[in-house]
Chain A
């Protein structure tokens, strides 16, 4: 008696996911490997002459960690800038987003017109970051409307050079990132809170717990997976910060390179001389930093 063949549907699963992997390999994995490969080569343009690719081993990485004439290593300073610029935007972003998410999901408050508010707070995220940055650039220029307002009302004796001072430039970048992303975070956190069983909140309330107790003992622990996800994606986004400071400072990271982020540094290598070797080295470093920071965050927050 011939053995009856069982019908396997497994191959359909593979066929369905194949397109994603194909696209991933061609457009993500291959360029990534190429980036790592390029980072070991001297490969740039001098005018219209292409120099390289010549294998130079780890020389690009050495160059990256060389101290400059002022005695510090530029990339370390830029890493510091990047993290700082992310933090000053992320702290208000998460605080406000968490509060809004709690208000919107609270069955006690039962806020009316939620749909409207959700749309409004999400709105800034729809504007292109560079356009948003350009808008701030125009608003805060020395002859821009903000300065005109300040001077006309006597709040400032002369126009303030918002785009030339460290504190104001960094603050503006923080504000822009906050405005652009708090809506997105709110929506994600709301989804997370809504997925928690309502019965838990109800029973806690019946037992007489305060809102603070509910938040710390029910909401937060159960929200953790989503919160970690949002936090890590925000951090990765922060490490990759580029368009807002680039446009606001015209690519120079003014003043004193205090708003130059890692990606802006990378972009400078890819400017006129298309220095794929050095840019590759920065990218690889960036990858390592992102991986390390993400795992640290994951480990610390996820600790039971």
Chain B
């Protein structure tokens, strides 16, 4: 009896463990939709997986494409369920998770395969130049006549095969506070403000004037970083070696100067609480930098009905022309929903109704020139946030000159790393600029074994 009992106990123990590990492994992947019919009714999958690092595009997908928003992570279009998988972009977490999923694409079940994923300019090359993405012309996205040329070349591989499309065009501008500009310059007229900051020398001079009136020119030294890095004349990595462009050096010079002179409110990360607190009405900073998506999606503090100051803003080109970011939709190789993937892409570049809504209702600068230009010349079109100013008028002009150049797949972490480590120098935590650069080089050495750092 005793023996029997002990055998039973031992078996139970082992079983219990087997059960634990069993349930553990089956719980990991997202459960497939339970109402999938037993026999396949159509050739294409019933679940479309979309990968994103924020909800900007997902919200548009819900509003302008799907039939029904089921919940925060699920949409319905016909009998297809659209699911969202999101990881934060910071520190490469999104790329990291996406890479793992794409490398596992061949083994994943149809309903768990990545079908459509978003990528930023900073690392889009990594995906377009690999077999993980496919030729969108082959699935039915063929009409690029209305899109901006740079958005197509950015999503093309080395041989010119187009792997994706963008739903936005991202010429960027200076977004300034009207009330502060009035106080400093006596006017908030975009043309006059532009004249006062038409190049970096003028910008510096205006910064001194701002300081004299008790304001800051910029919320953080990192705010101008993208203007400089976007105008770099060489990429981050040349022939496998880390390369720091002269324009990045110029940004360092300016940042050092601005901290010394007190022209900047903070030295922090642009997304951090410090810099974004300057967007409130109580903020003392004149200039923010960014494209349409920046002021309609990332300046939520400025849009805050109580503490914000919507309407007290305006845009002008600023000291140097540049563009920033953009979100591309790429078609993942192995997708079981090619038709819907192509349909989504076509919707956001060629469906004029949708593009129209993006501009008129969402303050986007869409990737449809026809629609954008229509609004650019429409005297009745204006943004409430920008105090009635027509942003398309500015952006349509700036969009003409965008070239997608000097880009590498390593850009995101090079940009993040350089800003982080140089900020330590600005904060007085490392003695010299060289120390900061050394720390940055160590970081790149650890992060990218394939890049030679000298």
Q: Which residues of A contact B (CB under 8 A)?
A: 12, 15-16, 19, 23, 44-51, 68-70, 74, 138, 141-144, 161, 164-166, 250-252, 254-257, 265, 268-269, 271-273, 275, 278
Is there an interface contact between A12 and B429, defined as CB atoms closer than 8 Å? Answer: no
User: How far does the Cβ of B157 sit from chain A's closest Cβ, in whole Å?
Assistant: 12
A48, B449: Cβ atoms closer than 8 Å? no
B446 touches A269 (CB 8 A): yes
- Chain B 265-287, CB-CB to A under 8 Å as 1, else 0, gives 01110001110010000000000
B99 near A: Cβ within 8 Å? yes
Contact: A256 with B99, CB < 8 Å? no
With the chains together, A51 CA to B240 CA distance in Å?
Answer: 15
In the bound complex, do residue B424 and residue A19 qualify as a contact, i.e. CB atoms below 8 Å apart?
Answer: no
A sample of 27 cross-chain residue pairs with beta-carbon separation below 8 angstroms, ordered by A number, consists of A12-B6, A12-B10, A46-B448, A46-B449, A46-B450, A47-B129, A48-B127, A49-B130, A68-B438, A74-B442, A142-B266, A142-B273, A142-B274, A143-B277, A144-B273, A161-B427, A164-B423, A166-B429, A252-B443, A254-B420, A255-B430, A256-B435, A268-B446, A271-B446, A272-B95, A273-B447, A273-B450
B87-113 contact mask (Cβ, 8 Å, vs A): 1 or 0: 000111001100100110000000000
- A-chain residues with CB within 8 Å of residue B277 when the two chains form the complex: 143
Known A47-B130, A251-B91: A273·B273 in contact at CB below 8 Å: no
Nearest-Cβ distance from residue B426 to partner chain A, whole angstroms: 9
Whether A254 pairs with B450 at a CB distance below 8 angstroms is no
Q: Are B17 and A48 in contact (CB under 8 A)?
A: no
In the bound assembly, the distance between CA atoms of A254 and B430 in angstroms comes to 10
B439 within 8 A of A: yes
Contact B13 A19 (CB under 8 A): yes
User: In the complex the two chains form, is B429's CB within 8 Å of A165's CB?
Assistant: yes
The 8 A CB mask of B419-453 against A (1 = contact, 0 = none) is 01101100101100011011101110111111000
Residue of A nearest to B9 (CB): A16
Give chain B residues whose Cβ lies under 8 Å from the Cβ of A251.
91
Q: How far is the CA of A68 from the CA of B6 in the complex (A)?
A: 61
Please give, as numbers and ranges, the residues of chain A lying within 8 Å of B130 by CB-CB distance: 47-49
Q: Which residues of B contact A164 (CB under 8 A)?
A: 267, 423-424, 427, 429
A101 to B118, CA, bound (A): 56
- Interchain CA distance A273-B412 in the complex, whole Å: 13
Residues of B within 8 A of A165 (CB): 427, 429
- How many residue pairs at the A-B interface have CB separations less than 8 Å? 109
When distances are taken between beta carbons in the complex, the residues of chain A under 8 Å from B437 are 69
6 further A-B contacts with Cβ under 8 Å, apart from A252-B420, A252-B421, A272-B96, are A141-B272, A166-B429, A272-B92, A272-B99, A272-B447, A273-B449
Does B14 count as interface, using CB distance less than 8 angstroms? yes
Give, as a whole number of angstroms, the nearest-CB distance from A59 to chain B: 11
Instruction: Report how far A236 CA is from B431 CA in the complex, Å.
Output: 33
Q: Confirm or deny: B413 has a beta carbon within 8 angstroms of a beta carbon on chain A.
A: yes
Residue of A nearest to B10 (CB): A15
Question: Which residues of chain A have C-beta atoms less than 8 A from B449's C-beta?
Answer: 44, 46, 51, 273, 275, 278
Q: Which residues of A contact B448 (CB under 8 A)?
A: 46, 272-273
Chain B hits for A138, CB < 8 A = 273
CA distance A50 to B266 in the complex (A): 41
B409 within 8 A of A: yes
- Tell me whether B126 is interfacial, beta carbon within 8 Å: yes
Between B267, B272, B447, B449, the greatest number of chain A beta carbons within 10 A of the residue's beta carbon is seen for B449
CA–CA, A251 and B132, complex, Å = 29
Task: Find out whether the CB atom of A255 lies under 8 angstroms from the CB atom of B96.
Answer: no
Q: Which 3 A-B pairs have the closest CB atoms?
A: A255-B429, A46-B450, A47-B126
Complex CA distance for A166 and B429, rounded to whole angstroms: 7
A44 CA to B449 CA, complexed, in Å: 8
Find out whether the CB atom of B443 lies under 8 angstroms from the CB atom of A268.
Answer: yes
Which of B13, B92, B442 is the one whose CB lies under 8 Å from A257? B442
Report which of B10, B274, B445, B450 forms a contact with A141, defined as CB distance below 8 A: B274
> When the two chains form their complex, are residues B273 and A254 in contact, meaning their CB atoms are under 8 A apart?
no
Contact (Cβ within 8 A) B268 A250: no
Is A69 in contact with B438, judged by CB distance below 8 angstroms? Answer: yes
| A45 cross-chain contacts in B, Cβ below 8 A | 99
* CA of A99 to CA of B34, assembled, Å: 58
Q: Does the CB pair A51–B450 fall under 8 Å?
A: yes
Q: How far is the CA of A180 from the CA of B129 in the complex (A)?
A: 47
C-alpha gap A48/B123 in the complex (Å) = 11
Residue of A nearest to B240 (CB): A46
Max chain A Cβ within 10 angstroms of own Cβ: one of B126, B268, B446: B446
Q: Are A256 and B447 in contact (CB under 8 A)?
A: no
* A245: min CB distance to chain B, Å: 14
Distance from B314 Cβ to chain A, minimum over Cβ atoms (Å): 26
CA distance A134 to B394 in the complex (A): 40
Residues on the A chain within 8 Å of B434, using CB = 69-70
